[in-house]
Amino acid sequence: MTTPGASACHLRTELLDATLPRTPDAVCILAPGNNLTTSSTPAVAGEEFRKLLISARERWHNVFVLDFVPRLTVSPELQNHVSREFHSVAKSLGIPRYSTLEHFPFRQRHLWVRDGVHLSDVEGMGILTQLLWQAAYMHLEVTAPAPRTPPRFVVVSEGRAERGETKTSPREVFVSPPSPAPSDPFVWMEMVNGKKRIQSDEQRSTPPKRRVVRHEVDGRPIVLRECFIPLNPVRFSTSVLAAMDAVVPARLPSPDLPAVPQGSPVI
């Protein structure tokens, strides 16, 4: 949503009347740079910005702020004051805020058009687009809930003697979830007596009895161990073998037994 020439109070009116087709995953409020000229003081700009953020959070729970784009027509001191005021307001409301001032150096005037207010189509808008994407990505990554395994509780009955009787009182015991498998590809997982055992490189001081095949990737040696699976003998009946031989003959052509008998004409 964009409103040309709008300050924080105008954006708040547009925001309250906006109709969205669905609830967004996140809402980015681009801090209004027009308050640099419409507000009398940084404090007044900060109060209008506070009302804008409160209205946005009342509609959507996931809101973050990207600071306004600096201008060549306003003194850097005033822009720093207003930026700090906006940052203080967002921090007091617990809303994340991402800065933009350091990405638009005033000496690089090609980032703006001739009026010194609007960004150039390629260089300036390219930086702003990347900042919007990066802020949204970082915000969604930070606020995304981390998957976790819920703890398990086991109720254990504990017996105790009282006046010749045995009474049972339930007791809750916390059982921690199992530890995840190691993510290091150079940590081996071996089967010992039907159970998995983690074995690191330091623990493998003695050479294994199995055959070891060594490979190198980018100059780093990688040890690959063969896994032997015992074969179970399978016996087929004579009828099954005859049916299989009819589909795939067991006597295939070979140099000793060619497919075409010797002396037969070849067409």
Mean pLDDT of the chain, nearest integer: 75
φ, ψ of residue 173 to 5 degrees: the values are: -120, 130
Cβ atoms of 211 and 202 closer than 8 Å:
no
Of 120, 30, 118, the residue nearest 73 (C-alpha) = 118
Q: What's the pLDDT at 141? A: 83
Average pLDDT (3-14) is 91
As a whole number of Å, the end-to-end CA separation of the chain is 80
Q: What's the pLDDT at 256? A: 53
More confident residue, 244 or 96: 96
Q: Where in the chain is the domain with CATH 3.40.50.1110?
A: 8-143
Q: Just give the CATH number of 8-143.
A: 3.40.50.1110
Q: pLDDT-derived band of residue 239, with 50, 70 and 90 as boundaries?
A: confident
What percentage of the chain reaches a pLDDT higher than 70? 58
Q: What is the pLDDT of residues 153-163, one digit of tens each?
A: 444 444 554 45
188 pLDDT exceeds 70?
no
Gap between the Cα atoms of 31 and 66, Å rounded: 6
> Which range has highest mean pLDDT (19-28, 137-146, 229-238)?
19-28
Judged on CB neighbours under 10 Å (0-12, 13-18, 19+), 62 is middle
Of 88, 102, 36, 31, the residue nearest 64 (C-alpha) = 31
Q: Which residue's structure tokens are 């390219």?
A: 126
Residue 238: both structure tokens together: 């004579």
Average pLDDT (26-45) is 94
